Amino acid sequence: MNYIKKIITGTALLGLLLLLTNCNNPQKQESCTFKEAFKGKFLTGVALNARQISGQEPKAIDLVKKHFNSIVAENCMKMEGIHPEEDVYYWDDADAFVEFGEANDMHIVGHTLVWHSQTAPWIFVDENGDDVSREVLIERMKSHIQTIVSRYKGRVDGWDVVNEAIESDGSWRKSKWYKIIGPEFVELAFEFAHEADPGAELYYNDYGVSGRAKCDGIYKMVSNFIEKGIKIDGIGLQGHVNIDAPEVSEMEESIEKLSSLGLDLMITELDMTVLPWPSEEVTADISLDYELSKEYDPYAESLPDSVFREMMNRYTAYFEMFLRHHENISRVTFWGVHDGVSWRNDWPIEGRTDYPLLFDRNYQMKEGVDEILKMAAEMD
């Protein structure tokens, strides 16, 4: 859906004045929440993990209820968990995730229907372990998508239908989906999802979109879908960034180009690693795996103030840019509630201590976040 920016009059104006008062008064910062500060600009979302969904981390859930108005399933709707065998579906976590979103009147995003990673191996092979035919894989993909989407028809607001189908050079990722079906697997996935729930929003989601070649490849693919009349409502630009890359201006250029397609853009999976990066390429490819060493885990005890300030300045610069483009951005979603549960602690090197989010391990909003919220609240 395209989020309509309403004219503020009457009681709405009074509400804005109260919000500004809270966001600018240090004694009332606890009243200045993400969802209040960014109201009228874009939704603020967060990924929930299975422990949180099942009620094992109540303090995290309290933060989610207070600050966010959109949630996305971090792992419980990925194929390896929800559909581990051909005739087996595991619904408990996904059901609880959707029920939580409904109970708290949140925008609910399902993630992800088709991806090259965290799939269930059975889907690509026959009883002898050989690759299945194109026709068989299409039918299996259709059944997988439509079983899940139909179960939550009218309840899940939007789906990350396909995740990460384009490489950094703009070419097609040579995944099993691509090798067996061909590039048509992406448009087929969108068609199957639309058939299962015509009212749900459908998104394409990818990382590294600040790269020019990758952005161009996504633009070309989505333009082709639009020309063919295939329903696609938005593009998710994953925000897995490093403390020194990419440049904010690079992501802004991609936002400007992709917004010309007339679709909603979402900043998805936002986090910022402050740790040394062990690869020459800034990526979110979860297959990367390196050995733990002190060189790559320098802040195991605490984060130096200078690094923290650098991180917060960079977060502020990103949000200033997001706000300038808020008419084309419908949602900004963090990939995790707080530092302690971030995947960045274990990827691409397991066992590190990272500080990538805006709430710390004690569930406290970090110093300087209030400046970002005030900036948002004060924007006309």
CB atoms near residue 164 (< 10 Å) = 22
Question: What's the one-letter identity of residue 335?
Answer: W
Phi (first) and psi of residue 349, to 5 degrees = -130, 120
Q: Is 167 a catalytic residue?
A: no
Crossing angle for the helix pair 369-378 and 10-24, to the nearest 10 degrees = 150
Indicate which residue of 57, 164, 191, 201 is catalytic.
164
What type of residue sits at position 177? W
285: burial class by Cβ within 10 Å (0-12, 13-18, 19+)? middle
3-state SS assignment for residue 186:
helix
CA distance 39 to 314: 22
Joined tokens for residue 260: 């010309």
Known catalytic residue at 74: no
Marked catalytic residue, from 269, 291, 367, 378 = 269
CA distance to 37, 193, 373, per residue, from 379 (Å): 9, 37, 10
**Is residue 302 left, alpha or beta, with left meaning phi > 0 and alpha meaning psi from -120 to 50?**
beta
Catalytic residue numbers, as ranges:
164, 269
